[in-house]
Chains A and B, each alone.
Chain A
Amino acid sequence: MSELSTTSNTPTLIKERIILFARKNMGLVSTLISIMAIGLALLIGGILIAFAGIDPFDAITYLVKGSFGNRYGFGETLTRFVPLLFCSLSFAIAHKSGFFNVGAEGQLLMGAVGAVLVGAYIDGLHPVLHVLLCIIAGVIFGAIWAGIAGFLKIFLGSDELINTMMLNYVAILLVDYLIHGPIKPPESYLYVSETILPSAKLPIILSKSPLHLGFIISLVVTAVVFYIIYRTPIGFQMRTVGANRRAASYAGINIVWATIVALITTGGLAGMGGAMELMGTQFKIVNGFSAGYGYDGIGVAVMGRYHPIGILLAALLFAVIRVGMGAMQRGAGVPFPLLNVIQGLIIIFVIASGYLTNRLSETVIGGRA
């Protein structure tokens, strides 16, 4: 203790100043910590790449160039970003409401099915109306898929984690069945769904790139979702139920209703992500339609710490990694397994940095009297 007792007044003042600064700028501090974490992960990744006999600077250049460096890559990154963002919003809103939804993958697929049904089989609509109806169909299909797990939870008390996960497999196989028969174009030899009509396609917003209107929609939806969660009574109720179910019931909040709204939103968002991917990028459902967006969305939400800005940044990071890694593989010849390792490193470091920020904010803001 002797070295502690020698601490005179001045250093304590500096320490308190740092604490005060951190308390006021927690957002900035945690962002800095996250960026440092990514840097650290890339550094280790670079060393691993060097071990593999590839010039790490070359590889990193491809990563940056592939995802940002040119118009097409940039557009592709932002296109990838869209379904990721929807899935992470889906997970985040469920999490805030005390519902553990790991079923975004299945809900996204079902959303795409809904959108393809409306987009390919209903003809003669005005493009705006057609697009709108497709999105609504996606939302409804996704919501129903989440609703199955939700009703099992509300009325039978069965665990939603297992149910949402199992429903992913059901959705994948169901889609597989559909593209082998019911929604396969009769003349096609490939197992794909019917292609949506031009009036149901989302317009490109950056020429000479795949970037479509879904990007703008996803940003608007993010704002709306967080507005609902933080600034409306129903959002307040959902958060209360998520944070303390019992206190919510004591406060007269209708838990079943709040949970139903949460279900519709979580499933609807994932379904909307599927509709966007379909209407903006792929136009038909193929085997492996989702590149694991539903699962990546969980990572994005956790990494973004369920915070709107955090989720946007994390979704962007995931998209950059996904697109840039492809470029690294093609350009610098970095082997695919190594890419997975680097991606894993980034995720682990960023999540670990989240815990660091947590501890920090506890010391800074905590302090029970």
Chain B
Amino acid sequence: MSEEIYLSFRNIRKSFPGVIALDDISLEIYKGQIHALLGENGAGKSTLMNILYGLYHQDSGEIFLSGEKYEQNTPKNAIRHGIGMIHQHFMLIPNFTVLENIILGQPSPKPPKLEKEYFRNEILNVAKKFGITVDLDLLIEEISVGMQQKIEILKALYKGAELLILDEPTSVLTPQESQELFKMLTALNKKGTTIIFISHKLKEVMQISDRISVLRDGKLISTVNKSETTPHELSRLMVGREIITQYSKAEIKIGEEILILDDITLGDHHNQHRHLLKNVSFKVGQGEIVGIAGVDENGQKELAEIISGLRKPTSGKISMFGKDVTHCTTRQLIEMGMSYIPADRRNQGLVLDFKISENAILETHYQKPFTRGLSLQRKVIDKFANELIQEYDVRTPSINVPVKNLSGGNQQKVIVGREFLKKNHFLLVMQPTWGLDVGAIEYVHKKLLEAREKGVTILLISTDLEEVRKLSDRILVIYEGEIVGEVDSSTDIEEIGLLMAGSHKH
């Protein structure tokens, strides 16, 4: 491995109003390595890379690329210098084909004609060189998220990227897709591409990187070679304290059945012969955490919508707290003591333009003490919101900040706080730690286990198998809308993985 310095940051500083995002960062990236930037959300990893890519500008400090001072950082200039960035949210147009997306913005060789065929050959050559198989004629909306990410990478490579920056690339992928991605990255790396990999997941960082830089609160804590470190050390560096990897769960006597699903079926109105959910039956007892594991898009979303009253099943019966709730509205369920932490905090859990205080009372605003007589009680609401941000450690200058300005972890804490501060007996939780950093994940998990000890019944739907295993008392595996197996949390991860992949069907 060559020890040639490819890129170096010298004393980079960047502050946003009220926050120092990067504090005197100096860092070297070696050519041909996979370099991981590890840190919690808000540690400054993405900010540093956005500066390199030209989306932000540093307040002070310099960047050197291949030994030369790199100035005027703009995305255009970055691309010209062989820097490609894959953002967390893909920049693809859903109803364009793969080919059209890749050539977007490329000057045509024979304007005003588009010359798609010319590009097709060029792209296929690049794809072949890097060993990527791709169908250029599919629409983006037809292909899986993992494939979309491949397209993003191919796009960057086609534009001549020698340095690829990937911002939390696995946060949208299934475990299988993540492994595929790693294979691809390793292959690219062997062909000479330098890779900067932003992540907060220790395991994957340990798996693929050569060197690892840990950032915390805008400061570079340490840069280490992978061979000389352990996950344990990294997690300590990242969080600044010891973290728990195994939870001790209190023994709990499981009480009466709180949630009973009886033969729930949901048809697909686009396709009569397909079912989104098929004959789903299970029970969850009081004080129990039941996990639903499965690869994304196997009916979890529909299941959660049906349990929370947002959608009605085609057939079947649901009862909650001993009552038939098949035809209850969401509000009725909430009033009975159901809490729901939805998967998509930005679109389902929060109103992004609303203040923290308004989001804190989204479900309970009409109840006492938030409403008295005809009016919302602003003082009571503000006091409640202040309690929430304190108790649930939401990092924000004030409760009047729109939640869209909070980081993902803090947004999730607002939701968790809201749901937990409410009277709740049954908690429906979906992807509660999606995109969160280690500290925040631990926090959410701790809160869920605390709730369990208080006798709250929890149904946890997650594609993160580790999470499901750590927390659940029992695990149900869902595949193509059917519950295909029940296992306990000590079951081997491989075995659950096989069920998730539908291996029960031959």
Contact = CB atoms under 8 A, between A and B. Distances in A.
A244 B358 CA distance: 13
A234 B320 CA distance: 28
Nearest to B376: A231
B132 interface: no
Interface string B347-361: 111111110001001
A28 interface: no
Given A5-B60, A252-B330, A253-B331, A244 B347 contact: yes
A321 B90 CA distance: 48
A346 B197 CA distance: 51
B463 interface: no
A368 interface: yes
B57 interface: yes
B405 A368 contact: yes
Contacts of A249: 310, 330
10 contacts: A1-B71, A232-B375, A240-B351, A244-B352, A247-B347, A247-B351, A250-B330, A365-B17, A366-B16, A367-B19
Contacts of A231: 375-376, 378
B198 interface: no
A117 to B, nearest CB: 32
Interface stretch (B136-144, B177-185, B362-370, B470-478): B362-370
B353 A254 contact: no
Interface string B361-394: 1110110000100111010000000000000000
Contact of A232 (B18, B329, B374): B374
B351 A4 contact: no
A252 B340 CA distance: 10
B334 interface: yes
A156 interface: no
A33 interface: no
Interface in B1-45: 16-19, 21, 42
B189 interface: no
B193 interface: no
A288 interface: no
Contacts of B350: 244, 247
Given A243-B353, A247-B351, A253-B331, A363 B17 contact: yes
B342 interface: yes
Contacts of A247: 347-351, 362
A237 B310 CA distance: 17
Interface string B233-265: 000000000000000000000000000000000
Interface string B53-81: 00001111110000000010000000000
Number of chain B interface residues as a range: 35 or more
A246 interface: yes
Contacts of B310: 249-250
Interface of B: 16-19, 21, 42, 57-62, 71, 308-310, 329-334, 340, 342, 347-354, 358, 361-363, 365-366, 371, 374-376, 378, 395, 401, 405-407, 410
Contacts of A1: 57-58, 60-62, 71
Contacts of A366: 16-17, 405
A369 B21 contact: yes
Interface string A1-40: 1001101000000001001000100000000000000000
A299 B258 CA distance: 54
B16 A369 contact: yes
Nearest to B358: A236
A237 B354 CA distance: 12
B17 A367 contact: yes
Interface centre among B17, B366, B375, B378 (most CB of A within 10 A): B17
Given A365-B405, A369-B21, A250 B308 contact: yes
Nearest to A234: B366
Contact of A250 (B62, B332, B348, B376): B348
Given A236-B366, A237-B365, A244-B350, 9 more contacts: A236-B361, A247-B348, A249-B330, A251-B362, A252-B363, A366-B17, A366-B405, A369-B21, A369-B42
A364 interface: yes
Contacts of A365: 17, 401, 405
Contacts of A243: 351-354
A304 to B, nearest CB: 18
A131 B329 CA distance: 42
Interface centre among B19, B59, B329, B362 (most CB of A within 10 A): B362
Contact of B376 (A236, A251, A367): A236
A233 interface: yes
Contacts of A253: 331
Contacts of B376: 230-233, 236
Nearest to A1: B71
Contact of A367 (B16, B57, B354): B16
B425 to A, nearest CB: 16
Contact of B61 (A5, A19, A244, A364): A5
A209 to B, nearest CB: 36
A363 B56 CA distance: 13
Interface centre among A231, A247, A253, A365 (most CB of B within 10 A): A247
B344 to A, nearest CB: 8
A253 to B, nearest CB: 7
Contacts of B352: 243-244
Contacts of A239: 354
B401 to A, nearest CB: 7
A243 to B, nearest CB: 5
Given A247-B348, A247-B349, A250-B330, A368 B354 contact: no
B407 A250 contact: no
A21 B156 CA distance: 43
A237 B361 CA distance: 11
A98 to B, nearest CB: 11
A241 B329 CA distance: 16
A240 B42 contact: no
B490 to A, nearest CB: 34
A298 B71 CA distance: 47
A366 B21 CA distance: 13
A362 to B, nearest CB: 9
Given A244-B347, A247-B347, A252-B331, A19 B17 contact: yes
Nearest to B348: A250
B60 A4 contact: yes
A367 B57 CA distance: 14
Contact of B347 (A232, A246, A252): A246
A254 B309 CA distance: 12
Nearest to A20: B17
A240 B331 contact: no
B333 A368 contact: no
A4 B330 contact: no
A230 B395 CA distance: 26
A233 B365 contact: yes
Nearest to A244: B351
B16 A368 contact: yes
A281 B361 CA distance: 45
A363 B405 CA distance: 12
B334 A252 contact: yes
Contacts of B407: 368-369
B41 to A, nearest CB: 9
B17 A364 contact: yes
B213 to A, nearest CB: 20
Interface string A253-267: 110000000000000
Contact of A4 (B59, B374, B401): B59
Nearest to A366: B405
A257 B308 CA distance: 19
Nearest to B17: A367
B69 to A, nearest CB: 9
Interface in A206-249: 227, 230-233, 236-237, 239-240, 243-244, 246-249
Nearest to B362: A251
Nearest to B71: A1
